[in-house]
Amino acid sequence: MSRMATADLSGLPPELLLRITDCLNATELLPLSATNWSFRDCLVPVIFSTLRVTNRRDEAKVALDLAKKHSQHITTLSFEGYASPTENDRATRGRSWGPKGTSTLPAATRNLLTGLHLPKFRTARIRFAYDYASEDWATDPSTNGRTAGFHDFDASEFDKQIAQQEPKWKWRALMAETWLALAQNKQIENLETIDLPPRGTTAFINPAFQDFLRRLKRVTLSIWGSSKGAGWRVQTFPGYIAFLSCMHNWFFKQLETTTTLALSASLDGLPGLTGTLLSGIALQRDALPLVSTLELSLTAINPNLIAFISGHAQASEVSASTGASARPTSS
Q: How far apart are CA 176 and CA 167, in angstroms?
A: 10
Answer yes or no: pTM beyond 0.85: no
Q: For residue range 109-146, what is the model confidence (pLDDT) as tens digits? A: 999 999 999 999 999 999 998 876 665 555 555 555 54
Lowest pLDDT segment from 45-49, 130-134, 223-227, 323-327: 323-327
Hey, where are the domains in the chain? 1-47, 48-216
Are 60 and 108 in contact, with CB atoms under 8 Å apart? yes
Return mean pLDDT, the chain.
Answer: 79
Using CA atoms, how far residue 291 sits from 9, 126, 283, 317, in Å, is: 42, 22, 12, 9
Least confident of 32-36, 249-253, 258-262, 278-282: 32-36
What is the reported pLDDT for 1? 47
Length of the chain in terms of residues written: 331
Beta bridge partners, 218, equal 190, 260
Sign of CA dihedral 286, 289, 293, 297: negative
- CB 267 within 8 Å of CB 302: no
Give pLDDT tens digits for 310-325.
888 877 677 766 554 4
Percent of the chain at pLDDT above 70?
64
Residue 88 pLDDT exceeds 60 = no
Residue of 148 and 178 predicted with greater confidence: 178
Residue 140 vs residue 81, higher pLDDT: 81
What b/e string do you get for 152-162 counting C-beta neighbours within 10 Å, with b at 16 or more?
A: ebeeebeeeeb
